[in-house]
Structure 1
Amino acid sequence: MSANRLRECTSPYLQQHADNPVDWYPWGEEALARAHAEDKPILLSIGYSACHWCHVMAHESFEDPATAEVMNRLFINIKVDREERPDLDKVYQSAHQLLAQRPGGWPLTVFLTPDDQTPFFAGTYFPDEERHGLPAFMGVLQNISNAFHEQRADIKEQNKALIRAINQIDPIATGKATPLDSAPLETARQQLASGFDETHGGFGRAPKFPHPSSLEQLLRHWAATGTQDPRSLYMADFTLTRMALGGINDQLAGGFCRYSVDDRWMIPHFEKMLYDNGPLLALYADLWQATGKSLFKDTALKTAQWVIEEMQSPEGGFYSSLDADSEGEEGRFYAWSNEEVKQLLDEDEYRHVSRYYGLDQEPNFEGKWHLHCQTDIATLNHELGSTSEQARNLLEQAKLKLLAQRAHRIRPGRDEKILTTWNALMIKGLARAGRLLERPELIAAAQQAVGFIRDKLWQDQHLLASYKDGRANFNGYLDDYVNLIDALIELLQAEWNNATLQFATDLTDIILERFEDKDQGGFYFTANDHEQLIYRPKPFGDESIPAGNGVAAAVLTRLGHLLGETRYLKAAERTLHCTWDQLKQFPHAYCTLLQSLDELLNPTEIIILRGEPDTLLPWIKRAHQHYAPRRMTLAIPSATTDLPKALSVKQPAGEVVAYLCHGTHCDAPIISLEDFNSALSSTEAAAHDKSQRFDGAVGSFKRFRE
């Protein structure tokens, strides 16, 4: 029975469907063989545990015996967790785009031919009854079954065309050795600015997603152009300020939801995903370094606190997500009635909370209030007669009381599978925030997660993608390898460890061996020993997480410069050449890839510090004083031996010695902190002027610093 099949799976999402009357299979040989033997089309349903509309469709259709009877009679039904099998999701989302001529999403509903798993019809959510222009799911089932049996020849011809089309999605190198130039960096800045929401920050209209790779590119552009582009910093600052103060950020416990359903970042889709919070944590730490605004530091620390307290497993890895729903309702855990708030707070606390979070206005979420900053401290001071210190203290006291009360509610479900890619994104965020904000407990949490991955998900020189209930599953994808390499590079800057560098280079050599397209350049999403699907994706564009090819090119560039390894640098260049035409035309869709382009054209600044740990501290502090995204700082204790050749030649000398390198060129060693400061200041002089000009540019928005 279906319950036995899905209950044996590690995915919480699949287990949610274990008691459906639908005869579900997980993706695998058993289901595919049965479909082929019985000549039944496959109904493939892809979703994930925190997906609200996945729950809706499950309740309306998959839990309904009448619907299940039709599904079981007409189809072989396969349920897939897109977080465990992103390879299948990428393939069939691309097919949906071609078949439906519009973007897909979740739940994804795809009908496949039984002999070769080619999709011939695709959609997303289908209701149980016809509404909102969508057909009833029961009718879809009957029509698809009829079409499959009555129009086989037409479907076969359509499938041939689809296979041709889907294999033309990814870029193909032109064969010309076109020199790389900085034009895409400038074009991306223009394209991002053209989509910027001047009123509320972010890009485009609702639903609004954070797009951390786009915001990071704006920050990098500002740093690269000196005083010439204060507006890039403003766009990142304004967006991340509005997000920090908005309902997309949990105002009580910290942590960001997946997206906002409105333009104002007020009401989120309430699921909290690990993959959003890792990059946002790093970005808020970067923006604090760039601006010194306390809001950004506080937001980074609150996000990290939420992740460590609520999402880190006892074994050290990080869980995947929190559900949008609790007690069958989206957002119920986070919403407040005015009466409940009033009963919990004293009069002064309530007056400040009511005004600050808009409880004195109309309810903003289904007759209740979801906390969203409606004003600022200065306005509270003016209207309520409090000082800034008094207002902050009252708000903080009130938040603690509300958080304590919320702890008694039924919590949203937590997806406790541990995914390598998403953990890598969080490890990077924690390592960077810990380093820049001088919080060693964040670095320790990142190291625990790396230890978990090495212990549970690194087996026989293979990364595995997912872990749950003591079982690691699924061969790792490109994203697993390259994001973990990226995280390890960040962790090396927080605390040197030879084993960390060796792990990073082992993983790098594997992606060159198993994932690289040796003919065209770039990297496939799946390894050369992976299950063969109808299409082997080679993704370059950023989506909800950074594109695997972008991260691959970035880490190859950094490690290539650090270790003097030309193989790595050439592979990064081939990746850029593979998609150069698309990168020139739509660079804002490839922001992660732009990092590699930037650091190939303007080689990575590498600072190697050698000395005793205590004596290194002021040198490290100076290296981290300003936002310098092209800079890598590695503090290697004097006693460290067995280093790679490019690092072993940078020997200790005196108390501390600094080696400053730009790409393949290194300056003379520096043994004086004063000289070190002077050397860095010569490249940073413009940074101070940038900040001053930016402060003047934002004008009235300064009040949010309070």
Structure 2
Amino acid sequence: MSSRRLAVTATAAILLGSFSSLGDSLPGVANAVQAVLADESSSTTPVTTEESVTNASDQGDSGKAKKATESGPANRLARESSPYLLMHAHNPVDWYPWGPEAFEKARTENKPVFLSVGYSSCYWCHVMERQVFANQKIADYMKEHFVCIKVDREERPDVDDIYMTSLIVYQQATGAGGGGGWPLSMFLTPDGDPIAGATYLPPEDSPDGRTGFLTVATRVTELWTDKKEAVTGSAAMIAREVRRLSGPMVLAEPKDLTRELLETVVTGIEGRYDPDFGGVDFNERRPDGPRFPNVPRLQFLLGLHHENPRPELLKIVDHSLTAMAKGGIRDHLGGGFHRYSTDRRWNVPHFEKML
């Protein structure tokens, strides 16, 4: 692999899998956010994030929820042209499309903003629509305490990019881990600065310990009421870091790509390697969670091995690719690979192909 190609794949590996040092480089952000969110007297988990995909089941009477969604009165999204936004046009949630009207209302009424970003072909976006946004109890709470905005990422990729970056910065600043994904759920100040974020959230706290949407929303309301100055301060710090990260990206020339940096990336990938079932996205906190192929990481390890043979790296790549090829994530009938596996062993695919 050429030095320039190695530089590109190293950058991809860092961006896709190794934000591990971000919290250390942002002590001000981390301390501010943790100080705001910390509440040892609380019996519930403070605002937390979920993985980009979860194994959550479609809880509750989703059939009734969907029927209610289709038959309820129309909200502002009924005037939109996006199929994804129109899917939410009969939610009881008082949705606003992205625009100045929503933020002006939030400033006038001194309310935080809830921003939900998704797209039409996103499975978990549909699940959250049925479970959460068709729930009258949740809709009533959100109307009283928040201004709610719904965005189609295919219409506004700029908005999606800003707040996906915000989610990753928030996760690293709080040590929550996890990753980006859709549906993207962000709680914002009236000026649009990120307070907290997650991806999919179930409607209520689940028996396996997942924090529910209503719990998160209630916690944000309490923080906004009791610690508004601290909340806006930490949100502004996250926003500044997002602006820095969203600036022009300049790839370093190959001569600036040090061996020390490469080995740092290798160490990070090795730390996510699953020696039992292969893969380089293993999460010890959720060992049975979903698994993604993470091709850039494997490609990076393979590139290093081709430059200078390292059997230990080749073993990781070979084990991981063999496990995927033999597992259910591969479509043995139609060919190709599904987007991810819902289990650690690569046996049960999420039936979605992105190509």
For the pair 1:153 / 2:234, whether they are aligned, the reply is: no
Q: Find 2:297's aligned residue among 214, 227, 230.
A: 214
| 1:51–1:271 Cα contact (<8 Å) kept | no
Q: Does residue 31 of structure 1 match 2:114?
A: no
| Equivalent residue letter for 2:193 | T
Q: Distance in 2 between matches of 1:146 and 1:186?
A: 44
Amino acid at match of 1:21: P
Match of 2:126 in 1: 55
Write out aligned runs for 1:542-557 (5 A): none
Summarize the alignment of residues 408-423 of structure 1 with structure 2, pairs less than 5 Å apart: none
CA contact (8 A) 2:166 2:239 kept: no
SS at match of 1:80: strand
CA distance in 1, matches of 2:254, 2:332: 49
2:323 partner letter: R
1:273 and 1:7, CA in 2 relative to 1: closer, same or farther beyond 3 A? farther
Name the CA shift for 1:35/1:230 in 2 (closer, same or farther; >3 Å). same
Secondary structure at the aligned position of 2:256 is classed as: coil
Task: State how far apart, in whole Å, the 2-side matches of 1:230 and 1:146 are.
Answer: 53
> Which one has a larger percent strand, Structure 1 or Structure 2?
1
1:146 is displaced (CA, Å) by 4.7
Q: Larger Rg: 1 or 2? A: 1
| Partner of residue 256, structure 1 | 337
Quote the Cα distance in structure 1 between the aligned partners of 2:248 and 2:122: 35
Q: State how far apart, in whole Å, the 1-side matches of 2:258 and 2:205 are.
A: 51
Name the counterpart of 1:645: none
In structure 2, how many angstroms separate the alpha carbons of the residues matched to 1:95 and 1:220?
29
**TM-fit CA distance, 1:249:** 1.5
CA distance in 2, matches of 1:27, 1:72: 16
Compared with structure 1, are the counterparts of its residues 45 and 250 closer, same or farther at alpha carbon in structure 2 (3 Å cutoff)? same
Q: Summarize the Cα distance change of 1:192–1:70 in structure 2 as closer, same or farther, 3 Å threshold.
A: closer
Report matched runs for 1:347-366 at 5 Å.
none
Structure 1 residue 117, shift from structure 2 partner:
0.9
Amino acid at match of 2:304: H
Could you tell me which residue of structure 2 aligns to residue 202 of structure 1? Answer: 279
CA contact (8 A) 1:189 1:221 kept: no
The structure-2 alpha-carbon separation of the partners of 1:72 and 1:211, relative to structure 1 and needing over 3 Å to count, comes to same
- Counterpart of 2:322 in structure 1 is 241
Amino acid at match of 1:144: V
The one-letter code matched in structure 2 to 1:71 is M
Trace 1:642-657 onto structure 2 (pairs within 5 A).
none
Task: State the Cα distance separating 1:36 from its structure 2 match.
Answer: 3.0
Q: Give distance in 1, aligned partners of 2:324 and 2:128.
A: 30
The alignment partner of 2:149 has SS state of strand
SS in 2 for 1:260: coil
Task: Please give the alpha-carbon distance, in whole angstroms, between the structure 2 residues aligned to 1:42 and 1:119.
Answer: 9
What is the CA distance between 1:130 and its match in structure 2? 2.9
Aligned to 2:166: 92
Q: CA deviation at 1:139?
A: 4.8
Residues 283-324 of structure 1: per-residue CA shift (max 9 Å, x gap)? xxxxxxxxxxxxxxxxxxxxxxxxxxxxxxxxxxxxxxxxxx
CA distance in 1, matches of 2:210, 2:329: 29
Read off the aligned partner of 1:14 and give its amino acid letter: L
Conserved in 1, the CA contact under 8 Å of 2:116 and 2:186? Answer: yes
User: Contact 2:76 / 2:97 at 8 angstroms: preserved in 1?
Assistant: no
Deviation at 1:63, TM superposition (A): 0.6
**Which structure: greater helix fraction?**
1
**What's the CA shift for 1:211?**
1.3
What's the CA shift for 1:17? 1.7
Distance 1:165 1:68 in 2: 32
Q: How does 1:624-635 map to 2 (within 5 A)?
A: none
- Quick check: 1:81 aligned with 2:152? yes
Q: Which AA in structure 2 matches 1:202?
A: G
Name 1:117's counterpart in structure 2: 192
Name the aligned partner's letter for residue 96 of structure 1. Y
Matches within 5 A, 1:172-571: 180=256, 183=259, 184-185=261-262, 188=265, 192=269, 195-205=272-282, 206-225=289-308, 228-229=309-310, 232-274=313-355
Whether the 8 Å contact between 2:167 and 2:196 is mirrored in structure 1 is no
Letter of the aligned partner of 2:279 in structure 1? G
Note the residue ranges of structure 1 that are not aligned, 5 or more in a row: 275-706
Q: Give RMSD over aligned pairs.
A: 3.7
Tell me how far apart the structure 2 counterparts of residues 2 and 39 of structure 1 sit (CA, whole Å).
26
The residue aligned with 1:559 is none
The one-letter code matched in structure 2 to 1:267 is V
The CA deviation at 1:164 is: 4.9
Q: Is the 8 A contact 2:166 2:238 kept in 1?
A: no
Task: Report what 1:359 is aligned to.
Answer: none
State the distance in 2 between where 1:193 and 1:144 align.
36
* 2-structure distance, mates of 1:44, 1:267: 32
Check whether the contact 1:6–1:24 (CA below 8 A) recurs between aligned residues. Answer: no
Give the C-alpha shift of residue 246 in structure 1. Answer: 1.4
Work out whether residues 50 and 271 of structure 1, in 8 Å CA contact, stay in contact via their aligned partners in 2.
no
Q: Aligned-pair distance for 1:3?
A: 4.5
Instruction: Give the match's secondary structure for 1:273.
Output: coil
Report the secondary structure of 1:269's partner residue.
Answer: coil
**Residue in structure 1 matched with residue 205 of structure 2 by the alignment:** 130
Q: Which amino acid aligns with 2:135?
A: D
TM-score (normalizing by structure 1) = 0.33
CA distance in 2, matches of 1:156, 1:190: 36
The answer to whether the Cα contact below 8 Å between 1:5 and 1:18 also exists between their aligned partners in 2 is yes
Q: Distance in 2 between matches of 1:194 and 1:34?
A: 46
Change (3 A) 1:109 1:196: closer
Judge conservation of contact 1:96–1:123 (CA < 8 Å) in 2. Answer: no
Change (3 A) 1:272 1:17: farther
TM-score, L = length of structure 2: 0.61
| Percent identity between the two aligned chains | 39
Per-residue CA shift, 1:499-522, capped at 9, x if unaligned? xxxxxxxxxxxxxxxxxxxxxxxx
Residue 24 of structure 1: CA displacement? 1.5
**Matched position secondary structure for 1:120:** strand
Deviation at 1:266, TM superposition (A): 0.8
Determine if contact 1:45/1:80 at 8 Å carries over to the other structure.
Answer: yes
Are residues 234 and 68 of structure 1, via their aligned partners in 2, closer, same or farther at CA, if it must alter by over 3 Å?
A: same
Question: Counterpart amino acid of 1:218?
Answer: L
Task: State the aligned residue count.
Answer: 268
Q: Is the 8 A contact 1:99 1:121 kept in 2?
A: no
